[in-house]
A and B are shown apart, each in its own frame.
Chain A
Amino acid sequence: MAVLKVLVVDDEPGIRSGVTRILSSFRVTYPFMDEDYTFEVTEAATGEEGIEIINSEKPDILLLDNKLPGIQGVEVLEYIRNKNLAITIAMITSYASLEVAVKATRDGATDFIPKPFTPQELKSSIENITKQLYLKKVTHKMKQEGKKIRYQFLSVLSHELKAPLNALEGYLRMMQEKQAGDKIDDYTHHIERSLHRIHGMRNLIMDLLDFTKIRLERKDEKMQKINLAELASGAIMTVQPYAIQMDVSVNLDVKDDPVMTADPEDVNIIFNNLISNAVKYNKFGGNVDIKIECPHDDVIITFSDTGIGISEEDREHLFTEFMRVKNEQTRGITGSGLGLSIVKKVIELYNGRINVESNPGSGSVFTVILPKNPTIKIL
Chain B
Amino acid sequence: MTKNKYTILIADDDPDYLFQTVYGLEKAGYMTVKAESQAEAEAIIKRFKPDLAIFDLMMESDDSGFILCYKMKKMYPDVPVILATAVARETGMSFSIDTEKEKPWIRADLYLEKGIRAEQLDQEIMKLLKL
Instruction: Give residues in A with beta carbon < 8 Å to B.
Output: 151, 154-155, 158-159, 162-163, 166-167, 169-171, 173-174, 179, 189, 193, 197, 326-328, 331-332
Contact = CB atoms under 8 A, between A and B. Distances in A.
A193 B92 contact: no
Contacts of A169: 115
A328 B37 contact: yes
B91 A159 contact: yes
A199 B103 CA distance: 39
B122 interface: no
Contacts of A197: 16
A268 B114 CA distance: 37
Interface in B5-45: 13-17, 19-20, 23, 27, 36-37, 39
A158 B94 CA distance: 13
Given A179-B27, A326-B59, A328-B39, A155 B16 contact: no
A171 B27 CA distance: 15
A160 to B, nearest CB: 9
Contacts of A167: 14, 16-17, 20
Contacts of B59: 326
A155 B85 CA distance: 13
B117 interface: yes
10 contacts: A155-B91, A158-B88, A158-B91, A166-B114, A169-B115, A171-B16, A174-B20, A193-B16, A193-B19, A327-B37
What secondary structure prevails in chain B residues at the interface with A?
A: loop
A331 B37 contact: yes
Report the 9 A-B pairs with minimum CB-CB distance, sorted nearest first.
Answer: A167-B16, A155-B91, A170-B20, A326-B60, A166-B115, A155-B93, A162-B86, A163-B86, A193-B16
A166 B116 CA distance: 9
B110 interface: no
Contacts of A331: 13, 36-37
B87 interface: yes
**Interface residues of A: mostly helix, strand, loop or mixed?**
helix
B17 A170 contact: yes
Nearest to A157: B91
A190 to B, nearest CB: 9
A285 B21 CA distance: 35
A214 to B, nearest CB: 24
Contacts of B19: 189, 193
Contacts of A155: 87, 91-93
Given A166-B114, A326-B60, A159 B20 contact: no
Nearest to B39: A328
A170 B87 contact: no
Interface in B68-123: 86-88, 91-93, 114-115, 117
Given A154-B91, A155-B87, A326-B13, 6 more contacts: A155-B92, A159-B86, A159-B91, A166-B114, A169-B115, A171-B20
A86 B60 CA distance: 47
Nearest to A169: B115
A169 B14 CA distance: 14
A178 B67 CA distance: 37
Contacts of B61: 326
A173 B58 CA distance: 25
Nearest to A165: B115
Contacts of B17: 163, 166-167, 170
A171 B92 CA distance: 28
Nearest to A158: B91
Nearest to B85: A159
Nearest to B60: A326
Nearest to B94: A155
B43 to A, nearest CB: 11
Contacts of B15: 193, 332
